[in-house]
């Protein structure tokens, strides 16, 4: 009987007040929690194994990315400086030689006519150098 009376509209305001308080408390709780915490809370629905697996894979991939980044930095540095010291002087000199020979050929062509210009006419041309563009 008491329950019926409680459920009657006469006891309305009390329960309404209670519900309002509850609703207020709920809203307060919503305002205190940040978005990140709410999203994090969503992960609690997954079982533990899935959570730990995801955590370790995420950590692994982050550390691998870091190592790869530092490795690529040092590899790029070492590669560039080694190329600069070991290969660049030879490249400069061969390019200069090629340009000189091209110029000589052009001069010969201008001086003696187009038939006398020969590619590969200079003795001792380097076999390793790329072929001269103009014939």
Partner 1 sequence: MNLIRKHCAHMGSVLALSSNPGHQNWPFSKDHLPSRWDAHPAHWDRPPRWERRDGRLPNPGSFHSLHRSCKDVFPHQIEGVKMIINKTLSSFFKVSHTLHLSAVSPSYYRFHVEHLQSDDYSKDKDAPALIGEMDSSGSLNAHALLHLTERVRARTVFQTQQSQFVTWQFETEYRGSDFTAAVTVANPDILRESVILVAHFLQSVSSGLVLGGELVYHRGRAEEGGILTLAGQYSGPNWVATLNAGKGGAHASYYHRANKQIQVGVEFEASTRTQETTASFGYQMDLPEANMVFRGMINSRCIIGGVLEKRLTPLPATLIMGAFVNHKGDKLQVGLGVNVG
| Longest CA pairwise span in the chain (Å) | 128
Contacts with partner 1 in 62-81 (CB under 8 A)? 78, 81
Tell whether residue 89 is a contact of partner 1 (CB under 8 A): yes
Contact 90, 103 (CB under 8 A): no
Tell whether residue 126 is a contact of partner 1 (CB under 8 A): yes
Residue closer to partner 1, measured from CB, 110 or 129: 129
Give CA separation, 17 vs 14, 23, 58, 130, in Å: 5, 10, 47, 92
- The DSSP secondary-structure symbol of 10 reads G
- Tell me how many helices (H) and strands (E) the chain has: 5, 0
CB atoms closer than 10 angstroms to residue 105: 20
Minimum separation from the CB atom of position 93 to partner 1 (A): 5
List 4, 35, 85, 135, residue binding partner 1 (CB under 8 A): 85
Sign of CA dihedral 67, 69, 70, 76: positive
Which residue stretch of 8-16, 40-48, 93-101, 102-110 sits at the interface with partner 1 (rule: CB under 8 A)?
A: 93-101
Residue closer to partner 1, measured from CB, 13 or 79: 79
Residue closer to partner 1, measured from CB, 64 or 75: 75
List 108, 109, 119, 125, residue binding partner 1 (CB under 8 A): 125
Binding site for partner 1 (CB under 8 A): 78, 81-82, 85-87, 89-90, 93-94, 96-97, 122, 124-128
């Amino acid at each position: 009987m008491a329950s019926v009376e409680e459920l009657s509209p006469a006891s309305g305001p009390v329960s309404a007040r209670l519900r309002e308080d509850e609703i207020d408390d709920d809203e307060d709780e919503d305002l205190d929690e940040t978005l990140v915490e709410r999203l994090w809370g969503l992960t609690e629905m997954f079982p533990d194994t899935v959570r730990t697996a995801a955590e370790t894979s995420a950590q692994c991939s982050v550390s691998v990315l870091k190592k790869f980044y530092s490795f690529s930095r040092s590899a790029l540095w070492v590669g560039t400086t080694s190329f600069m010291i070991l290969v660049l002087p030879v490249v400069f000199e061969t390019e200069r030689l090629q340009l000189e020979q091209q110029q000589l050929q052009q001069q010969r062509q201008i001086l003696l006519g187009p038939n006398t210009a020969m590619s590969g006419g200079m003795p001792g041309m380097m076999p390793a150098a790329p072929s001269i563009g103009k014939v």
